[in-house]
Amino acid sequence: MLARISRTLLLFLLTFAFLAAPFAPTQSQAATTASAHALIRQPVRAEHGMVASAERIASQVGIDVLKRGGNAVDAAIATAFALAVTYPSAGNLGGGGFMMIRLRDGRTTAIDYREMAPSAATRNIFQDEKGNLIQGEGSSLIGYRAAGVPGTVAGMELAFKKYGSGKLSWAELIEPARKLAAEGFPIYGYLARNLVKKKDQFAPYEDSRKIFLNDGKFYQEGEVLRQPELAATLRRLQKNGAREFYEGETARLIAADMKQHNGLITMEDLRGYVAKERVPVRTTYRGYEVITMPPSSSGGVILIEMLNILEGYNLHEMGWSSADRYHLMAEAMRRAYADRAEYLGDADFANVPVAGLIDKNYAARQRSTINMTHASTSAEVRAGHPVGAESSETTHFSIVDAEGNAVANTYTLNESFGSKVVAKGTGFLLNDEMDDFAAKPGTPNYYGLIQGERNAVAPHKRPLSAMTPTFVLRKDGTLWFAIGSPGGSTIINTVLQVITNIIDYEMNIQQAIDAPRIHHQWMPDELAYEPYGLSTDTLHLLEARGHKVYVRPNAGWTTGEGYMGNAQGIMLEEKTGTRLGASDPRGDGAAIGY
């Protein structure tokens, strides 16, 4: 409880400091008050390597790998497996995600290890005989049928084989996670509270109840959580390699439990899973190159569309916390999310007009429809015509090693603790990513996102995602910073705001992450803001322009307190190359360097 109060107080003080102090904090504006500067946190500094993740133990695991001679990819794999143990609401073996890798020589690639729909998944599988969405067990949100075929283990294997340092073995990278699962770790306050909060959803599932509800004796903060079945699964992966998950004993356990409980995933689905390497999408924003994730994530394409729209305005002159700036951000978000609903899906299955959506001429046409004095309505804003026409409990980590290799990785179970099902005997939770499909095109999903036919359910298809792991380069082509966040549908907008905070308002990486956030996703037609995030004057000015402005504490894409995201970023200092790590005060993560 004390930790929760302290985090809320920190967020309040930081928000007050941002609203009280002018931005950007350039040298010519050095007259900002001493009290405001005292509340602005500085990033963690390190000479060699840095890991920023949502959980301190996992960050330390990554740093230990770097110290032993591993590269950023090695550290990412170890961190991902560790988060599956210490951050079970989102860290996972039973989910999937996206990894962006930038090597020291400038080569950049994207690994798509998003879940895939089982072969038994059909377009209307989550609708009843009347065409209504099924609720509860059997739906796309909870229980055995909600899970897609997990991709995390395959994604880590692909990264390891192609981009690992070769200095550390697969088994060595998994060992810290296996040891944490076997020996346990002290439950932290957020996890203890979250387990109790989800008790009714865990209760129907035997292994979930046994592991996470302690058979009714709820874990208290500081108690040690041991996960022997998960340790055994990790030991099998160490001994037999990643394919054990898809073809060995672990696969047999998943398939048997699915069959017993009318689930969808079969041994054939598991054997058929494949992670894919894809070409990143790119743009420039005010001369800085932005490299980000392509479909099956919508994140990179929609991020670029919004940056291209905003590039036509002088945000710096408007002021960081001005009504003009927030108005423009909201209007760019509204238009881009309308395009997301219409055009985005798995590019292996649908024609996704990526080139058209990220074209600067298209952004200019979108920009021409924005009225500076009055908000559009989402009813009147429809998808544009380009050429060729996800829970708050995802998690992101960023890593930069001593040689300059970098990883930005976002992965998830979708909703907090996924489907709430632990596959019997495996010790790990399965995702509920089937809800990221359009279970009924045109009907909102858990996050309120409306999605179209391109994202309809189909066998072997990957559901649309908002995950947006991103690199931004300096004008000389060197890495400037890596950034990403969880947050369901807010992910793209969180990354957008961090990037513009740095480029337009000259914030450091920690300031850019700490700053209050807004969110608009086209439908529902509302502009959400964080508690204390807008001054009363700014709020009234936005309302006068026609914006419907709310704090949304219980939205699927916010924490219970109304905050958005949990960004983790690393910046390279220009003259020294010092790694500057930043972890979001909205969570309990840590940036650790050496």
The answer to whether the beta carbons of residues 488 and 394 sit under 8 Å apart is yes
pLDDT in tens, the chain (594 residues): 445 445 665 665 666 566 555 443 333 333 333 333 435 789 999 999 999 999 999 999 999 999 999 999 999 999 999 999 999 999 999 999 999 999 999 999 999 999 999 999 999 999 999 999 999 999 999 999 999 999 999 999 999 999 999 999 999 999 999 999 999 999 999 999 999 999 999 999 999 999 999 988 999 999 999 999 999 999 999 999 999 999 999 999 999 999 999 999 999 999 999 999 999 999 999 999 999 999 999 999 999 999 999 999 999 999 999 999 999 999 999 999 999 988 999 999 989 999 999 999 999 999 999 999 999 998 888 776 776 645 567 999 999 999 999 999 999 999 999 999 999 999 999 999 999 898 888 777 766 767 778 889 999 999 999 999 999 999 999 999 999 999 999 999 999 999 999 999 999 999 999 999 999 999 989 999 999 999 999 999 999 999 999 998 866 656 668 899 999 999 999 999 999 999 999 999 999 999
- What is the value of pTM for the model shown? 0.93
| Catalytic pick among 79, 394, 410, 470 | 394
So what CATH class is 282-369? mainly alpha
Q: Which of 148, 152, 149, 167 is nearest to 85 (CA)?
A: 152
Alpha-carbon gap, residue 541 to 309, rounded angstroms: 22
Long-range Cβ contact pairs of 259-265 (< 8 A, separation 24 or more) = 261/143, 261/144, 262/138, 262/144, 262/145, 263/144, 263/145, 263/147, 264/118, 264/120, 264/121, 264/125, 264/144, 264/145, 264/147, 265/118, 265/147, 265/148, 265/149
Q: Which of 315, 367, 350 is nearest to 499 (CA)?
A: 315
Q: How many residues does the chain have?
A: 594
Q: Which of 516, 479, 476, 521 is nearest to 498 (CA)?
A: 516
Give 532's contacts (C-beta < 8 A, 6+ positions apart): 11, 12, 15, 16, 19, 516
Alpha-carbon gap, residue 31 to 40, rounded angstroms: 14
pLDDT at 26: 35
Reply yes or no on whether 108 is catalytic.
no
One-character DSSP codes across 527-583: EEE-TT-S-HHHHHHHHHTT--EE--TTSTTS-TTS-----EEEEE-TTT--EEEEE
Q: Which of 127, 13, 103, 110 is nearest to 478 (CA)?
A: 103
Helices (H), 164-314: 170-183, 189-197, 199-202, 206-212, 228-240, 243-247, 249-260, 267-272, 299-310
pLDDT at 18: 66
CA 197 to mean position of chain CA atoms: 22
- Assign domain 44-184+226-281+394-593 to its CATH architecture: 4-Layer Sandwich (3.60)
In the structure encoding, which two tokens stand for residue 123, read together?
């377009």
Alpha-carbon gap, residue 144 to 434, rounded angstroms: 11
What b/e readout covers 251-263, taking b as 16+ CB neighbours within 10 angstroms?
bebbbebbeebeb
What's 336-367 look like in SS3? HHHHHHHHCCCCCCCCCCHHHHCCHHHHHHHH
Under DSSP, the state recorded for 382 is -
In the block, tokens 């209760």 appear at: 203
Query: CA geometry: angle at 114 spanning 112 and 118, to 5°?
Result: 135
Q: What phi, psi does 303 have (nearest 5°)?
A: -55, -50
Q: What phi, psi does 133 have (nearest 5°)?
A: -70, 135
Query: Packing angle between helix 56-67 and helix 72-86, nearest 10 degrees?
Result: 150
Boundaries of every domain in the chain: 44-184+226-281+394-593, 282-369
Q: Which of 332, 329, 303 is nearest to 505 (CA)?
A: 329
In a 13 Å sphere around the CA of 450, the CA atoms on its Cβ side amount to 18
Alpha-carbon gap, residue 594 to 464, rounded angstroms: 37
